[in-house]
Structure 1
């Protein structure tokens, strides 16, 4: 296994560890069934305490993978299988050996911090092009057989789980579960955006050729020359355009300060970049 691949699995492991921690120390002890396979497992564990949340999650994930392969020709990446099975096993390990108790019994605090930690962990997993599987498969089946949009199908599945939790835990707790689901969706999007933020840069400089070579040769990024005309001077000039990571921009800024302190630079934040050297267009 290449070093880069090994690092990817380390990062995924960190992500599922955060999700497992949130489930076992915030959500499960407070009966917050925030959708997904783990939400179903929390409900079943409350009805039949001898059933481990981790084992139930593992069994349900395996069954859903089998159903997907049979009915929707499901093809899953190794990383998704690793994340799904790994999360279930990590939950089981925490239950079996650490005997977790709730960090807080305040439902609002448990909902907020459980969603925050879980969302951060799931965003880490998603950012590595993996997922924790689970009810996403049911949503995909609803999409194929009943032509329901994936987003709406996921909400429908999670809403159904929350409805069942209302019957088991009561309406008040179920409402906190619904709030947790809403927070998860919002926070995951924001965290992933934060992971992928890049700098969009326009540079007007007398040393544009040297700067472009630095971007290409040293930073290993592409750049583009645009033609511009100064409104005041009427002179033509090259405008250099590039998209860089935060760290690359810091290096470039130091370099420009050395070669042309009078350069004019504008910088904007870009939340998604698709194409060579960045994320694939999907």
Structure 2
């Protein structure tokens, strides 16, 4: 009886806190699986970005992309003009705070909470991963650093967290324009490395531009959610197929009724839906469950004009 009494007491306290504090409500609404998925994305980005910066970029004087690169520039400028050492981690947080506030209102609260965790993981690993020189060749350092950085960013986005900084800007612009994250990120980051070239020398700036270009391509290769696919389904069980697409994939369907097969003149329905490449395996599974005999053709990398809902949170 006492245990039950204490349980009810603490449950009331927790629910009251959840009602009073919006962040607690957000966290409570996330399943254990999503916690694990997003935490993994945050840790992997932090580790991969630290390897890129400390093992490849720093030894050859190459500037990183995104908020990390801006933090490097900020740290160098503060030391040059004021003679004060500003840790990159501090500059990293200063840059990310206003962007995190923007993401909270424009992208999503869950997304922002885990992005803050990702930013923290990145700062932690960059501080503690030792600087190791594998090669003195700046071009190799730029390319392999970009591979690690791009893989970290793409893996984080794939697990529904952002690496912060310019990635938040890229997602917001993509929501408005439909452009690929990697392309947008490349444009923004080219501006950053151009600034680095003007301030600290064009040799480092040019190698940094190579790194930004490679990193953008790696992001697009890893983060496939942004790639759209059109599926055309010819079926004689349209109700079952539509129910699966609506309830399991949360996608809309366009119906073309009274289609006819030219061989046996059997009446069928033609269904058209748009999914992301990340949803393709789930789509195939649900189609096999709904109608194993359905004929399905899929077109990749299509362009969308109009509203296509993407949940970044």
After TM superposition, the score normalised by the length of structure 1 is 0.68
One of 152, 156, 165 as aligned partner of 2:200? 165
Residue in structure 2 matching 1:178, options 209, 220, 230: 209
DSSP-derived class of the 1:202 partner: strand
Q: Show the 5 A alignment for 1:1-282.
A: 1=27, 2-3=31-32, 4-39=34-69, 56-64=87-95, 68=98, 77-95=112-130, 100-127=131-158, 128-133=160-165, 155-166=190-201, 171-192=202-223, 194-197=224-227, 199-215=229-245, 219=248, 221-222=250-251, 223-230=253-260, 232=262, 237-243=268-274, 245-252=279-286, 254-255=288-289, 259-260=292-293, 263-270=294-301, 279-280=310-311
Deviation at 1:195, TM superposition (A): 3.9
In structure 2, C-alpha distance between the alignment counterparts of 1:275 and 1:56, rounded to whole Å = 43
Distance 2:102 2:235 in 1: 53
Give the gaps of 5 or more residues in structure 1. 138-148
Q: Secondary structure at the match of 2:310?
A: coil
The 8 Å contact of residues 56 and 144 in structure 2, kept in 1 or not, is answered as yes
Matched positions, count: 250
Two-structure CA RMSD over aligned residues (Å): 4.3
1:190 Cα deviation after fit:
4.2
CA deviations 1:151-208 (Å, max 9, x no partner) are 8765434311232231xxxx4333211221233334324432x244465321222333
How far did residue 268 of structure 1 move? 1.9
Indicate conservation of the 8 Å contact 2:241/2:287, yes or no: no
Q: Find the aligned partners of 2:285 and 2:232 in 1 and give their Cα distance.
A: 15
Offset of residue 220 of structure 1: 5.2
SS in 2 for 1:32: coil
Q: Deviations over 1:207-263 (max 9, x none)?
A: 33444455556x454544322544857875311233452222332454477x53xx4
Cα 1:281/1:30, change in 2 over 3 Å: closer
Q: What runs of 5+ residues in structure 2 fail to find an aligned partner?
A: 1-26, 105-111, 170-183
Residue aligned with 2:58, SS: helix
Change (3 A) 1:173 1:63: closer
TM-score, with length taken from structure 2 = 0.62
